[in-house]
Amino acid sequence: MRKFLMLFCALTISLNLFGQGGMWLPVLIENHIKDMQKGGFKLSAEEVYSVNKACMKDAVVLFGGGCTGEIVSDKGLLLTNHHCGRGEIVSHSTLEHDYLTEGFWAKSLSQEIPCKGLNVKILDRMIELPGDEEERKKAVEKYKNTLEGVFEFTVEKLYAGNLWYLFVYKSFNDVRLVGAPPSAVGNFGGDTDNWMWPRHGGDFSIFRIYADKNNNPTTGYSKDNVPYKPKHHFKISLKGVEKDDFTMVFGFPGTTEEYLPAVAVKAYKDQNYPARIFCRQTRMELMSEAINADRQVRLKYTSIYAGAENAKKKWEGSVLGLNRFDVVKQKIHAENALKSDSEVKNILSEYEKIYSEKYKFIMADAYFYESVYQTAQFKIGEKAFALSQIDTETSPQAVVNKAQEILKKTLSFFSARDSALERKIFTALYKIYSDSCAEFMPKNLKEICSANALKTAEDFVNYYYKNSVLSDSTRLKNIVAKYVYLEKNAKKFEKNISDFVELIKNDVGIKYYLEPLRVYLQQIMPEINAFESQTEKLDKDYQGLLMKLSPETIKFPDANSTLRFTFGKVDSYIPRDGVIYNYYTTLDGVIEKDNPKIYDYNVPEKLKKLYQSKDYGRYADKDGKIHVCFIATNHTTGGNSGSPVVNANGELIGINFDRCWEGTMSDIMYNKEICRNISVDIRYVLFLIEKLGGADNLIKEMEIVN
Ligand code: ARG
Ligand code: ASP
């Protein structure tokens, strides 16, 4: 197999066409460097990836598990997206110091804020492993025992298991918040502009990596830790970009599924995505109404809404693109061309069989997740269920304590939500659930409905609110207080507790949690597991065959949160007939969108003043404007947020943060006509740090070149 792989890798050298997408393995940079150089890249392969020499990869980090960041100073200063750092920014915000709204700028190391639990990993190297499981285990042990340094290891399968690699990381756990623009800048455009071009967000935040005195990673914060001294950091270019300029993105893309058979793409496009979109649309419309009517609701639901919206809008874009380019037909065409090979033919018909037999379970899973799991009532049920599971054999005091602990968690969930809104969502989602999952409706819930003549979702929800002690927080608190307290008479105590457990167990709110879950665990999950283990095996065989028979169609392994680079060029695109989108946006556009009445477009006064006075320092483009964002043909996905975008000299020109909506199908099939990554122009970032934040200290620390 390995010999074959080498042949395969060699074959792909000549097949990579510039700007055709691809998330390449840094260790195989040699295969691409000529192509990159043809596109204008000036660096050598070794300057991008090397084990022995300091190189670009040493300045790229996996940030917080799901994003990317880049090191921009010799003192471990790190840039990533605002939406990647948002959790930290929010968690350190209080009413007095609202860093989310006002922004935050540490003017010295001592002002930097430790972020407990935030982890950053830097890849030290990646090593190919044997395909054979036993041999692989041995090899991993060998490397673990012989590599010198403080490392973390992961074993990753590529090409669905046709290729294996050991990833060796330095893993840092003292990372501190250094800066963030106000969210009206960092998240400008909010959910309205999300996934869209033209875009005007200043989506960045700043952190710093700390190490021990020997520059080694630590397991957490210590006041004795010092800024990490990286092997390499990015220089920052003030030159900006022109159409057709070479760009490269280096980061940790999460998941792609580029080698799905046609039947799978069709299932996504026609069944899975539309169902999920419909559920989310329903939920989001209700949330949006309430958010706009009430500030308190906005606070509670902003991130829930953003989470729901982010995936939904991406699926919508994907459906659009998959239809527009008739990806299913393209796939069928490619499959037909290979079907003369009997193994391919068998695999494809196996896929067809599994999809036709088992896809209804995948859909049941989708509906369960979107229409049951997403209701507050399900989550309250889940929390409160623990009340019926308390170990009553322990001391009365322990029983009371445990009940109080569970109650506290449940009540805090109640207060994080808005009960009127949740009732509406429950009604709407219950309707979808009972309409779309008739086959998987729990018997027990059906019985409740028929025994009580509950015909509609409204009927069921009214019944729930009338009968469940979980329907409001005071009711739940009172019930716990009534039964679970320290009662001297042991018999009475016991009786109270067993009455209480009975009451909780029989509560319709608990049933609404337990019964769908039971159906899920007993009827849906085993089928999904079977589906997955079968498709996993088919994927491995199918991709292995593609590598052999049609290497030009399987040039890179699907993304799996391992370090990849991708390259392309700055380019405009045609979103739909008759419209061309320019490749960059400017501060003019921020001001055009300004509207204090619309939450997502409320430009801070200070930024408006800077715009009026044209106080741009050295950060304006040669056209005299501040350029805000730009797009290019780099093949990126979720996880690439925060990735460094570099120019032909390997200098930082932007921070990647999103993709254009019309091209989000790139997770399934990249198309250079329509797929664009969106980056914030690094000059806008510097302008904001210096002029809006006044953090000259940070500017001085970076290496800025012309
Ligand atoms: N679309 C971006 C990526 O998938 C996320 C942007 C976050 N912002 C938002 N308004 N939801 O992660
Ligand atoms: N916004 C995504 C991220 O957070 C990037 C993308 O999907 O293009 O990683």
What is the number of alpha carbons within 13 Å of residue 518 lying toward its C-beta?
Answer: 11
- Write down the pLDDT at residue 536: 98
**Residue 390 in this model has a pLDDT that exceeds 60:** yes
Q: Taking the model in full, what pTM does it have?
A: 0.93
- pLDDT tens for each residue of 223-238: 999 999 999 999 999 9
> CB of 316 closer than 6 A to ligand 1?
no
Question: DSSP for 46-115?
Answer: HHHS-SSS--GGGGEEEETTTEEEEE-STT-EEEE-HHHHHHHHHHT--SSS-HHHH-EE-SSGGG-EE-
Does 280 have pLDDT greater than 50?
yes
* Residue 342 to residue 227: CA distance in whole angstroms: 59
> Does ligand 1 lie within 6 Å of residue 575's CB atom?
no
Tokens of 407: 């109650």
Q: Sorting pLDDT into bands at 50, 70 and 90, what band is 1?
A: very low
Q: Which residue has the tokens 């009365």?
A: 396
Query: How would you class 281 by CB atoms within 10 Å of its CB: exposed for 0-12, middle for 13-18, buried for 19 or more?
Result: middle
pLDDT value of position 19: 67
pLDDT band at 5 (very low <50, low <70, confident <90, very high): low
**Catalytic (active-site) positions:** 83, 203, 641
What are the distances in angstroms from CA 243 to CA 117, 247, 566, 583, 685? 41, 11, 18, 7, 20
643 pLDDT above the threshold of 70? yes
Closest ligand by atom to 23 CA? 2
Whether 634 is in the pocket of ligand 2, judged by its Cβ within 6 Å, is no
> Span 550-563, mean pLDDT?
95
Where residue 706 falls among pLDDT bands split at 50, 70, 90? confident
DSSP state of 600: G
658 lines ligand 2 (CB under 6 A): yes
The answer to whether residue 582 scores a pLDDT higher than 60 is yes
Say yes or no to pLDDT of 149 above 90. no
636 lines ligand 2 (CB under 6 A): yes
Q: With a 6 A CB cut-off, is 561 part of the ligand 2 pocket?
A: no
Ligand 2 centroid from CA 225, angstroms: 32
The structure tokens listed for 131 are 């395909």
Q: Report the pLDDT averaged over residues 286-306.
A: 92
Amino acid (1-letter code) at residue 488? K
Residue 2 has pLDDT above 90, yes or no: no
Q: Kindly report the CA angle at 120 between 115 and 124, in degrees rounded to 5?
A: 155
Question: Nearest Cα to 632, choosing from 601, 676, 594, 582?
Answer: 676
Look at residue 414 in the predicted model and tell me its pLDDT: 97
Shortest-distance ligand to the CA of residue 566: 2
| 659 CA distance to ligand 1 middle (Å) | 9
Buried b (16+ CB within 10 A) or exposed e, 204-232: bbbbbbbbbeeeebbeebeeebbbbebbb
Secondary structure (H, E, C), 522-573: HHHHHHHHHHHHHHHHHHHHHHHHHHHHCHHHCCCCCCCCCCEEEEEEECCE
Fold observed for domain 2-119+173-256+555-705: Thrombin, subunit H (2.40.10)
Which of the ligands is closest to the CA of residue 308? 1
pLDDT value of position 12: 46
What tokens does 651 get? 């200098």
Q: Which atom of ligand 1 is nearest to the CA of 313?
A: 1
Q: Which ligand 1 atom sits nearest the alpha carbon of residue 193? A: 10
State phi, psi for 401 to the nearest 5 degrees. -60, -45
Angle of helix 327-338 relative to helix 342-367, nearest 10 degrees, comes to 150
Which of the listed residues 63, 640, 677 should we mutate to test ligand 2's pocket, taking the one with most ligand atoms within 8 A of CB? 640
Residue 11: pLDDT band with limits 50, 70, 90? very low
- Structure confidence at residue 15 as a pLDDT band (50, 70, 90): very low
- Tens of pLDDT, residue by residue over 494-509, are 999 999 999 999 999 9
Which among 315, 643, 658 is the best mutation to test ligand 2's pocket, defined by most ligand atoms within 8 Å of the CB?
658
Going by C-beta distance under 8 Å and a sequence separation of 6 or more, which residues neighbour residue 163?
5, 128, 131, 157, 557
Share of the chain above pLDDT 70, in %: 97
Query: What is the position in ligand 2's atom list of the atom closest to the CA of 253?
Result: 9
Query: If you average pLDDT over residues 243-251, what whole number do you get?
Result: 97
Q: Where in the chain is the domain with CATH 2.40.10.120?
A: 2-119+173-256+555-705
How many angstroms does the Cα of residue 194 sit away from the middle of ligand 2?
Answer: 10
